Chains A and B, each alone.
Chain A
Amino acid sequence: MLMNLIKVSKIYRIGHVEVLALNEVSVGIDRGEFVAIVGPSGSGKTTLLDILGCLSRPTSGDYWFDGKLVSRLPDDELTYIRNRKIGFVFQTFQLLPRKTVLENVQLPMLYAGVPWKAQRHRALQLLRDVGLEDRAHHLPTQLSGGQQQRVAIARALANTPDVILADEPTGNLDSRSGQDILGLFQRLHESGQTLVMITHDQQIAEQAQRRVMIADGRIVADDRASQQAPVPV
């Protein structure tokens, strides 16, 4: 199992108010899976993805990633995992506006210490794969939303991650561009890439291999629920 959450809770504190965003969630995701996480607004989807992506730590419970108990690792090791093993795709693309498309794609490789020439080479290859080779030297603002999201996917793939985590990747796109992105995800899935995607859109969720439904910080439905068996530690 690539990712395994065991009774993970997340509590946000704002002053005296506590928000229970995740309530003892247990879920496992295998290599090669394409999982859609669905649920109403405020149900805790983004919170779950942040924990899966090592962007934040659970308040309680254990998170195992690739055989490591990451909920207990120091910051720098979480950073290392994010850099080498996880690719992020966000609803708002999150491209650096002053950098060219090519430089944006290179960024994860820069922090991985890849030599500059190899960075360029790989970034161009990735842009070719997402069909944006001719836009390498443009600024993100000169691209359409769909194109920007494809750049973001190329960036997510830069260090050949174990998993791509996407938070509503089609949320800011019209349905045609959204479908393009989904086609790209399908292709990646077919080539064996593990994908976890949050979506509001039932139709888009249908195209994933597995759906996990979350409401009020709990998993309320899982296509693979029968197989889900948290490994005791």
Chain B
Amino acid sequence: MILAALILEALKNLTGNLLRTSLTMLGVIIGVASVITMVAIVEGGQLWLVRSIERLGTNLVFVWNKTLTAEERRLYEGRSIGLRYDDVLAIRARFPDLQVVPVVELDYSVKAAGRHFKGRVTGTSPEYADARNFHPAVGRFLLPTDIAEWKRVVVLGQEAAEKLFDQTSPLGKELKIGNQRFTVVGVMEKKGTIYGANYDEMLFIPVTTAMRRFQGNDKLDSLIIHVPRREQMEAIMAQVHALLVQRHDGVDDVRVRSQGEFLKAVDRTIWTFRIVLGGVAVVALVVGGIGIMNIMLVTVTERTREIGLRMAVGATRRHILLQFLVESVVISVVGGVIGMMVGIVAAYGFGDVVAQSMPGGGEWGAVVQPSAMLIAFSFAVIVGIFFGLYPALKASKLDPAEALRYQ
């Protein structure tokens, strides 16, 4: 009954001084809106990253050469040289269900009709296309015969094709990698940049060609293994790892990671973002709270005589405390609600801006989560109570006789 009257009273007082109230609220609005916006963008970014990584194929296991310390290198001297093409054949023989893709990365400049291109020349096998879910748009990808015969054929990424052949169709044309002639047999579909790697500037040649015509040995840089069923992942990883160690004369010189572990790493990065941005938003909210406290202190001083009169006619200290606390809570609740609305609008607005300005960020939309809204809102209310408490306590502790005669 009295509480209802006090809330009504607070609303009247707040609307009676609209400019002051809205300026005070602004701090809370900015705080809540920034929490929601930042969380929504980070959330959207995470979703986008996970999706783009999954667009590069799912259920994948990556194997690559471990960087050894000088000590280890000396110790393992002559026992193992890391991943080799034979390892691929051995894994295929042991696990016929798996698609095992060898990868060799070459560092050669590419020339065609007077143009130069510094792309990423990758030696691999036909399975690459399915495993990475990355297919040719025109022509074909690598074929088993290309591998068997160390053919000098190349499949270009979109950007490589554009840079080397401009608008003309590269199919059937010749180009030089280093000083060897290759025939273009296909151009890949557009893939974009994913997690820092631009897939459109890649050139694919048969892995055997890369090893024997360029490297002069059969060392591999990495393997990509596609596992048909997700449940098998862990077991396969362990078995492949064991097999490789055994083949490498007992030397554990490879790393085996699942795609899921990469996603977890992404998750960790995202959490760092969340904490940093969340901290910024919390600071904004606290500053808003200090604004509330400041204005409430002014209000209490201005209304000292009113407080004295109310005490004289029967307001207890608790009534006075409640009256001022209700005012600051109303400011933060209303500010919180407006902040949520502003936050949602800002989140989607910023989401669009990010989507348009980021290379390959086309699907980076903001994701506004109810939990983030709830947290931001409750935080605003807590801030209102916390920073409203001191001025309200101050009001409730006034001496009625002195307050009545305050000038």
Interface residues of A (CB under 8 A from B): 50, 53, 55-56, 75-76, 79-80, 82-84, 88, 90, 94, 96, 98, 107-108, 110-113, 115-116, 155, 158-159
Q: With A94-B309, A96-B309 given, is the CB distance from A113 to B2 under 8 Å? A: yes
B314 partner, pick from A50, A98, A112, beta carbons under 8 A: A112
Task: Mark B2-35 against chain A: 1 for CB-CB distance below 8 A, else 0.
Answer: 1001000000110010000000000000000000
Contacts of B400 in A (CB 8 A): 55-56
Looking at B60-68, B81-89, B211-219, B315-323, the stretch in contact with chain A turns out to be: B315-323
Are B401 and A56 touching (Cβ within 8 A)?
yes
A47 to chain B, nearest CB (A): 9
Sample of 16 further A-B pairs with CB below 8 A, known A79-B317, A94-B309: A55-B401, A56-B400, A82-B312, A84-B314, A90-B404, A94-B312, A94-B404, A110-B5, A111-B2, A111-B315, A111-B316, A111-B319, A113-B2, A115-B1, A116-B1, A155-B313
**Chain A contact residues: over half helix, strand or loop, or mixed?**
helix
Are B314 and A83 touching (Cβ within 8 A)?
yes
Q: Indicate if B306 sits at the interface (CB-CB under 8 A).
A: yes
Query: Complex formed: what's the CA distance from A137 to B16 in Å?
Result: 17
Contacts of A158 in B (CB 8 A): 313
Contacts of B5 in A (CB 8 A): 110
Contacts of B311 in A (CB 8 A): 55, 79, 82
Contacts of B176 in A (CB 8 A): none
Are B314 and A79 touching (Cβ within 8 A)?
yes
Are B404 and A55 touching (Cβ within 8 A)?
yes
Query: Complex formed: what's the CA distance from A50 to B311 in Å?
Result: 13
Query: Complex formed: what's the CA distance from A80 to B314 in Å?
Result: 6
Query: Complex formed: what's the CA distance from A10 to B353 in Å?
Result: 71
CB contact list, B379-407 vs A, under 8 A: 399-401, 404
Task: Mark B38-76 against chain A: 1 for CB-CB distance below 8 A, else 0.
Answer: 000000000000000000000000000000000000000
Contacts of A84 in B (CB 8 A): 314
Q: Indicate if B163 sits at the interface (CB-CB under 8 A).
A: no
B16 partner, pick from A56, A98, A111, A112, beta carbons under 8 A: A98
A83 partner, pick from B1, B313, B401, beta carbons under 8 A: B313
Q: List 8 A-B contacts (CB under 8 A).
A: A56-B399, A75-B317, A96-B306, A98-B13, A107-B313, A110-B2, A111-B316, A116-B1
Contacts of B191 in A (CB 8 A): none
Are B313 and A88 touching (Cβ within 8 A)?
yes
B313 partner, pick from A76, A82, A115, A116, beta carbons under 8 A: A82
Residue in chain A with minimal CB distance to B314:
A83
Query: Complex formed: what's the CA distance from A94 to B316 in Å?
Result: 18
A98 partner, pick from B2, B12, B315, beta carbons under 8 A: B12
Contacts of B2 in A (CB 8 A): 110-111, 113
Contacts of B317 in A (CB 8 A): 75-76, 79
B399 to chain A, nearest CB (A): 7
B320 to chain A, nearest CB (A): 10
Query: Complex formed: what's the CA distance from A31 to B401 in Å?
Result: 24
Query: Complex formed: what's the CA distance from A88 to B309 in Å?
Result: 9
Q: Indicate if B111 sits at the interface (CB-CB under 8 A).
A: no
The range of chain B's interface size is 20 to 34
B114 to chain A, nearest CB (A): 85
Interface residues of B (CB under 8 A from A): 1-2, 5, 12-13, 16, 305-306, 309-317, 319, 399-401, 404
A76 to chain B, nearest CB (A): 6
Are B313 and A53 touching (Cβ within 8 A)?
no
Contacts of B309 in A (CB 8 A): 94, 96
Are B305 and A94 touching (Cβ within 8 A)?
yes
Are A53 and B315 touching (Cβ within 8 A)?
no
Query: Complex formed: what's the CA distance from A146 to B49 in Å?
Result: 76
A81 to chain B, nearest CB (A): 9
Query: Complex formed: what's the CA distance from A159 to B319 in Å?
Result: 18
B304 to chain A, nearest CB (A): 12
Query: Complex formed: what's the CA distance from A136 to B122 in Å?
Result: 90
Query: Complex formed: what's the CA distance from A94 to B303 in Å?
Result: 12
Are A79 and B315 touching (Cβ within 8 A)?
yes
Residue in chain B with minimal CB distance to A49:
B401
Query: Complex formed: what's the CA distance from A231 to B13 in Å?
Result: 49
Are B16 and A79 touching (Cβ within 8 A)?
no
Contacts of B314 in A (CB 8 A): 79-80, 82-84, 107-108, 111-112, 159
Residue in chain B with minimal CB distance to A51:
B401
Query: Complex formed: what's the CA distance from A112 to B2 in Å?
Result: 9
Query: Complex formed: what's the CA distance from A194 to B311 in Å?
Result: 22
Contacts of A113 in B (CB 8 A): 1-2
Residue in chain A with minimal CB distance to B316:
A79
B323 to chain A, nearest CB (A): 11
Contacts of B312 in A (CB 8 A): 53, 55, 82, 88, 94
Are A107 and B316 touching (Cβ within 8 A)?
no
Residue in chain A with minimal CB distance to B399:
A56
Residue in chain B with minimal CB distance to A106:
B5
Residue in chain A with minimal CB distance to B5:
A110
Query: Complex formed: what's the CA distance from A79 to B321 in Å?
Result: 15
Are A76 and B316 touching (Cβ within 8 A)?
yes
Query: Complex formed: what's the CA distance from A94 to B16 in Å?
Result: 20
Residue in chain A with minimal CB distance to B12:
A98
Query: What are the 3 A-B residue pairs with the smallest beta carbon separation, nearest first?
Result: A83-B314, A111-B314, A55-B401
Contacts of A98 in B (CB 8 A): 12-13, 16
Are B310 and A107 touching (Cβ within 8 A)?
yes
Residue in chain A with minimal CB distance to B13:
A98
Query: Complex formed: what's the CA distance from A80 to B404 in Å?
Result: 18
Query: Complex formed: what's the CA distance from A47 to B399 in Å?
Result: 14
Contacts of B315 in A (CB 8 A): 79, 111
